[in-house]
Structure 1
């Protein structure tokens, strides 16, 4: 059971670095001649069908969408589709990218192409809000769009029955898991790029490029982020002093304080006091 837990933890760690961006979307009554054959999808696409009849063929599997079904078509997928001329589809749709480092999320994670949401008004409301916010000039709009897309993606990930580390069969991802597992086990110790690169037999310069291409940040930034997450937890759930926390993380107290404020905007003491004050309210 512990091994499975570790695998899930590593998968979550990797997926937590996903970056998502919506390029376009709308509510559309498709034209009677809508569709095509063997189209290679350039971006990930979501479809939420409200009305109409027709069919989709995704990677040689045929689907006949009914109202309330949510479809995900990953980038690079071969798709054919058509609609009934007398009863064309009415569908919400959006194009988006989802990447982990330089990799398309759905090259690394296998999810269903379709999930039934027939009795769930939430998705319809979310699509309405998604399109509204995508067209909005509001300062918070990009954050709301990302939040909605992440929530929709979570539905597909939750429905996936695939081992989350099936991605580890891809050599580059397997090597990343080796490094991430080592970092998790040695957070209290000093780690260098040379040391981490040796774990996967890479030249240090190539390892730097590889790590950043996979996670979007350098190894040092990633390690510091994990240490600050650990410090966060200890500040909230223990009575350890700042010096004791720094020692447990293998850091000098002043360095921990500077790093924590850089990541959170608060000093460790301020962060702990804010939390305790909120608990009293």
Structure 2
């Protein structure tokens, strides 16, 4: 299995919180050295000059560039001329299973968006929503933050071929387990069975799996089975009973209950909806 499934699981279970956001011209004393924040930052440079240091590497951002300054990484910033930055910025957290997203993925801090006007629009909405006292404003701001993170990842051309996970031995272990689940989806697997593949105690394995996949292993297996069932209902003429048996569900009532819980409809209704002209 390539990294696509693992990356998809990580991003699908991403939880974000916006702390603050703004758009302004940096003051002449804009400067801080060698600090390690407990939140992440995005800087979208509109104009001017300045200096950033992220994880010991120096950057001189240009207008139109988006920079990620991740939580937990030592960084510095400073003005360097009489033309300080005018920039959009936001402070936020992004976690998967309680772990900082940027401790899982090895990402380039510098991003050059192909459509900078889209970034301007997204940032404007984040700033406006974050400053609003409307009851739904924080929810809208959070949704726009998710869009901003997606734009950043897409403009990095982050895909299965380019993504690099940190803690590679751990990731390789999990990838091996996900491979096994895909290959044995018709069987009823146990936590002990999966933990044995990577020689881990079941309790430690559950914690590791949930950190990366965003859900416990048995819940993940059920999710994958239901996704396979949805494909079969939409694309084949197999009966509901045949599909459930192919996926290791020996109890039709339990299969229908789990399917409705995950898909929002019974298997029969789902098939009818997907084949509606």
Q: Which runs of 4+ in 1 moved over 4 A?
A: 159-163
CA contact (8 A) 2:234 2:274 kept: yes
Q: Could you give the per-residue CA deviations for residues 170-196 of structure 1, whole angstroms, max 9, x where no partner exists?
A: 333222222211111111101011111
CA distance in 1, matches of 2:160, 2:202: 37
SS of equivalent residue, structure 1 residue 36: strand
Structure (1 or 2) with the greater helix fraction: 1
CA contact (8 A) 2:18 2:142 kept: no
Moved more, 183-192 or 82-91: 82-91
CA distance in 1, matches of 2:57, 2:148: 25
Q: Do the aligned partners of residues 171 and 205 (structure 1) sit closer, same or farther apart at CA in structure 2, a change above 3 Å counting?
A: same
CA distance in 2, matches of 1:225, 1:12: 14
Task: State which of 19, 24, 27 in structure 1 corresponds to 2:20.
Answer: 24
Task: State which of 157, 165, 185 in structure 2 corresponds to 1:187.
Answer: 185
Shift of 1:91: 0.9
Shift of 1:40: 1.2
Task: State which of 61, 64, 70 in structure 1 corresponds to 2:66.
Answer: 70
Q: Could you give the per-residue CA deviations for residues 29-60 of structure 1, whole angstroms, max 9, x where no partner exists?
A: 22110121112132121110112222112223
Q: Could you give the per-residue CA deviations for residues 127-186 of structure 1, whole angstroms, max 9, x where no partner exists?
A: 11222334452285266235423422323541589743x427533322222221111111
How large is the Cα RMSD of the aligned pairs?
2.5
CA distance in 1, matches of 2:160, 2:274: 38
CA distance in 1, matches of 2:160, 2:242: 42
SS of equivalent residue, structure 1 residue 158: coil
CA contact (8 A) 1:102 1:214 kept: no
Correspondences of 1:83-122 after superposition (within 5 Å): 83-84=79-80, 86-117=82-113, 120-122=116-118
Shift of 1:65: 1.8
Shift of 1:209: 2.8
Aligned residue in 1 for 2:245: 247
CA contact (8 A) 2:195 2:201 kept: yes
Aligned residue in 2 for 1:56: 52
Shift of 1:126: 0.9
CA contact (8 A) 1:110 1:160 kept: no
Aligned residue in 2 for 1:234: 232
Correspondences of 1:195-274 after superposition (within 5 Å): 195-251=193-249, 252-274=251-273
Moved more, 153-162 or 166-175: 153-162
- Gaps spanning 5+ residues in structure 2: where? none
Aligned residue in 1 for 2:173: 175
CA contact (8 A) 2:103 2:166 kept: no
Aligned residue in 2 for 1:123: 119
- Gaps spanning 5+ residues in structure 1: where? none
CA distance in 2, matches of 1:130, 1:72: 16
Q: What TM-score, normalized by structure 1, do the two folds share? A: 0.86
Q: Do the aligned partners of residues 24 and 256 (structure 1) sit closer, same or farther apart at CA in structure 2, a change above 3 Å counting?
A: same
Moved more, 120-129 or 100-109: 100-109
Q: Figure out how many residues of one structure are paired with residues of the other and give that number.
A: 273
CA distance in 2, matches of 1:36, 1:137: 35
